[in-house]
């Protein structure tokens, strides 16, 4: 059964789960534990290098990635680049979620308020 490992700061939406199941053939979702999720979601901007900081995340992926599994990688730009490169280096497939942004403008008390609504479209493979 193909699995989707989540290196992602948010919860998947129902649309994303359905897309992963229907279009990627995913039958199981693998989330980070709470400590690793804290690490992934809070990359310190003061660090010069992320090599050591990301070691536990790389270890998690290494221990959980089976043939045909996919890794969803989204987050801090540098951490994302490093993890996509790592996933590729161990023979894995990395994807990201694409969205469409719909902007709604409303007038409120003489001011224009813009609200952006993001809608999942598909997962796209990092090349």
HSE-up of 64 (CA within 13 Å, CB side)? 20
CA angle 101, 104, 105 (to 5 degrees): 140
Q: Residue 72: what pLDDT?
A: 98
Instruction: Give per-residue pLDDT as tens, 22-43.
Output: 999 999 999 999 999 999 999 9
Average pLDDT, the chain: 96
The pTM score is: 0.90
């Amino acid at each position: 059964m193909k699995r989707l490992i989540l290196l992602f700061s948010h919860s998947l939406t129902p649309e994303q789960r359905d897309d992963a199941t229907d279009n990627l053939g995913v039958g199981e979702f693998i989330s980070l534990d709470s400590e690793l999720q804290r690490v992934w979601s809070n990359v310190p901007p003061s660090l010069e290098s992320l090599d050591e900081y990301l070691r536990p995340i790389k270890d998690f992926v290494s221990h959980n990635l089976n043939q045909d599994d996919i890794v969803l990688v989204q987050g801090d730009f540098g951490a994302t680049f490093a993890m996509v490169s790592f996933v590729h280096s161990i023979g894995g497939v990395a994807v990201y979620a694409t969205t469409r942004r719909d902007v709604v403008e409303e007038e409120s008390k003489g001011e224009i308020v813009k609200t952006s609504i993001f809608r999942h479209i598909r997962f796209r493979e990092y090349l």
